[in-house]
Chain A
Amino acid sequence: MLIFLLRRLIQACFVMIIISLISFAIQDKLGDPVQQMVSMAVSSDEREQLREQLGLNDSFLNQYWRFAKGAIQGDLGTSYHYKEPALDVILKKLPATLELVFCAILLIIIVATPCGVLAAIKPKHPVSRLLMIISSIGLSVPIFIIAIFMVYLFSVEWNIAPSFGRGQTTEILGLWDSGIFTKDGLNHLLLPSLSLAIALMPIFVRLIRAEMMDVLQSEYIRFAWSKGLSAKRIYFIHALKNTMLPVITVGGIQAGTLVAYTILTETIFQWPGMGFLFMDAVSRVDTPLIAAYLIVVGGMFVITNTVVDLIYGLVNPTVRLASHGL
Chain B
Amino acid sequence: MNLLSVSNLNVNFKIKKQELAALIDVSFTLNRGERIAIVGESGAGKSILGFSIVNLIGKPGYIKSGSVKLENKELTKMNLRQLQEVRGKRIAMIFQDPMMTLNPVITIGDQLVETIRSHTKITYKDARNIAIEKLHNVQIASPETRFDQYPHELSGGMRQRVIIASVLLLNPDIIIADEPTTALDVTIQAEILQLLLAICHDNGVALVLISHDLGVVSKVAERTLVMYAGHIVEEGPTLEIINDPQHPYTQGLLNALPQMTLPGQRLNQIQGSMPSLAERPTGCAFHPRCPYATEKCQQEQPSFIHSGVSSVACFLVEDMVNEFANQDEEEL
Contact = CB atoms under 8 A, between A and B. Distances in A.
Q: Do chains A and B touch in the complex (CB under 8 A)?
A: yes
Interface of A: 217-231, 233, 237-238, 241-242, 245, 315-318, 321
Nearest to B163: A223
B249 interface: no
17 contacts: A222-B58, A223-B93, A225-B87, A226-B88, A226-B93, A227-B88, A227-B114, A227-B115, A228-B83, A228-B84, A228-B86, A228-B119, A229-B114, A233-B114, A233-B118, A315-B105, A318-B105
Contacts of B93: 223, 226
Contacts of B102: 220, 223
Given A227-B118, A316-B105, 14 more contacts: A219-B95, A219-B97, A219-B100, A223-B101, A224-B103, A226-B92, A228-B85, A228-B118, A228-B119, A229-B84, A230-B118, A242-B105, A317-B104, A318-B150
A230 B87 CA distance: 11
A227 B106 contact: no
Contacts of A318: 104-105, 150, 152
A52 B332 CA distance: 130
A142 B83 CA distance: 48
Interface string B37-79: 0000000000000000010101000000000000000000000
A223 B119 CA distance: 16
Closest 4 CB pairs of A and B: A228-B88, A228-B87, A219-B100, A227-B88
Nearest to B167: A227
B80 interface: yes
B153 interface: yes
Contacts of B87: 225-228
B89 interface: yes
A149 to B, nearest CB: 39
A303 B119 CA distance: 46
Contacts of A222: 56, 58, 95
Contacts of A226: 54, 56, 87-88, 92-93, 95
Contacts of B85: 228
A237 B117 CA distance: 15
B17 to A, nearest CB: 16
A317 B101 contact: no
A227 B104 contact: no
A241 B119 contact: no
A79 B58 CA distance: 64
Nearest to B50: A226
Nearest to A230: B118
A217 B60 CA distance: 13
Contacts of B103: 220-221, 224, 238, 242
A218 to B, nearest CB: 7
Contacts of B84: 228-230
Which secondary structure characterizes the binding site on chain A? helix
B166 interface: yes
A218 B118 CA distance: 21
Contacts of A241: 105-106
Contacts of B153: 321
Interface in B2-57: 54, 56
Given A223-B101, A231-B80, A317-B152, A237 B88 contact: no
A219 B105 contact: no
A193 B54 CA distance: 49
Contact of B104 (A217, A233, A242): A242
A35 to B, nearest CB: 60
B100 A220 contact: yes
Interface in B118-167: 118-119, 150, 152-153, 163, 166
A231 to B, nearest CB: 7
B105 A317 contact: yes
Nearest to B84: A228
Contacts of A230: 84, 118
Contacts of A231: 80
Contacts of B152: 317-318, 321
Nearest to A316: B105
Contacts of A315: 105
A223 B102 CA distance: 8
Contacts of A217: 58
A208 B54 CA distance: 29
A219 B183 CA distance: 14
Contacts of A229: 84, 88, 114-115, 118
Contacts of A316: 105
A228 B83 CA distance: 7
A228 B88 CA distance: 5
B97 A227 contact: no
Max chain B Cβ within 10 angstroms of own Cβ: one of A226, A231, A316, A318: A226
A15 to B, nearest CB: 30
A197 B114 CA distance: 37
A196 B219 CA distance: 65
A315 B150 CA distance: 13
A221 B102 CA distance: 9
Interface string B158-191: 0000010010000000000000000000000000
Nearest to B105: A241
A237 B118 contact: no
Contacts of A220: 100-104
Contacts of A225: 56, 87
A229 B111 CA distance: 10
Nearest to B116: A227
A248 to B, nearest CB: 12
Contacts of B104: 220, 242, 317-318
Contacts of A317: 104-105, 150, 152
A236 to B, nearest CB: 12
Nearest to B91: A226
B28 to A, nearest CB: 20
A227 B106 CA distance: 15
